[in-house]
Amino acid sequence: MHIPTLSSKRLLLLPPSAACEALYDRFYTDADASIAYGGPLTPGGAWSRLASDLGTWFLQGFGVWVIQRREQGDLVGTCGFWQGKGWPRELTWWLLPEARGAGLAQEASLAAVAHAYGAFGWPSVDTYMNDANLPARALVQRLGGVRTGRQAFPDGLERDVFHIPPPDLDRPALSPTRARSSRQEAPRIHP
């Protein structure tokens, strides 16, 4: 399985690899950072999550990419698609706390969603989150997400489900603060 690299104006979305272990460890062992993602985990649990994210590509043909800032060259999070056994497929993302608030999750999500509709040929991209995850809800709104219903999940919780439309890469996207807008560069796919 070849995992493509995606790029946008400020980011590269890279295949997960052993080189990402420190990133996963920093995020998943931090209770505050990872609370909405099943954390905190032990370093061994963080490594298992990395192994799972890589394995998803080989088992399901899709997964998450690791987000690298072009200018700084640092790894700051993940974005892509996840589908656990018995769960619906979803757009997902996480960022280290110091990388939040700069529109990186939105930019990475636009690249991943464009890839899903284009290269994967998916007819729909959806996401969901716990009701208390207000930052995720705000990002979904900035992505143009539309609530399509409420669903019971295998963990016993109910969640709102949102459809994410294909990105209009010619339309200015709202910044995280909605104070300014910027044009989104079309994602490029590298073999």
Report d(CA 22, CA 47) in Å as an integer: 9
pLDDT digits (tens, 9 = 90+) for 87-117: 999 999 999 999 999 999 999 999 999 999 9
Mean pLDDT of the chain: 90
pLDDT of residue 184: 37
Give the tens place of pLDDT for each residue, 53-75: 999 999 999 999 999 999 999 99
- 66/23 Cα distance (integer angstroms): 9
Of the chain, the percentage scoring pLDDT greater than 90 comes to 87
Enter the DSSP assignment of 88: -
Pairwise CA distance, residues 49 & 126, whole Å: 22
Largest Cα–Cα distance of the chain, in whole Å?
A: 43
- Look at residue 183 in the predicted model and tell me its pLDDT: 33
Phi, psi angles (nearest 5°) of residue 28: -75, -20
* Distance, CA of 11 to CA of 140 (rounded, Å): 19
pLDDT digits (tens, 9 = 90+) for 108-160: 999 999 999 999 999 999 999 999 999 999 999 999 999 999 999 999 999 99
Does the pTM surpass 0.85? The reply is: yes
Contact 28, 78 (CB under 8 A): no
Query: Are 188 and 115 spatial neighbours (Cβ–Cβ below 8 Å)?
Result: no
Name 160's Cβ contacts closer than 8 Å, sequence gap at least 6. 128, 129, 131, 147, 149, 150
Peptide bond just before 40 cis, omega within 30 deg: yes
pLDDT at 43: 98
List of domains in the chain: 5-190 (3.40.630.30)
Which among 33, 144, 119 has a CA at the least distance from the CA of 78? 33
For residues 21 and 71, give the distance between their C-alpha atoms in angstroms, rounded to a whole number: 21
Distance CA(133)–CA(4), nearest Å, equals: 30
Mean pLDDT of 78-89: 97
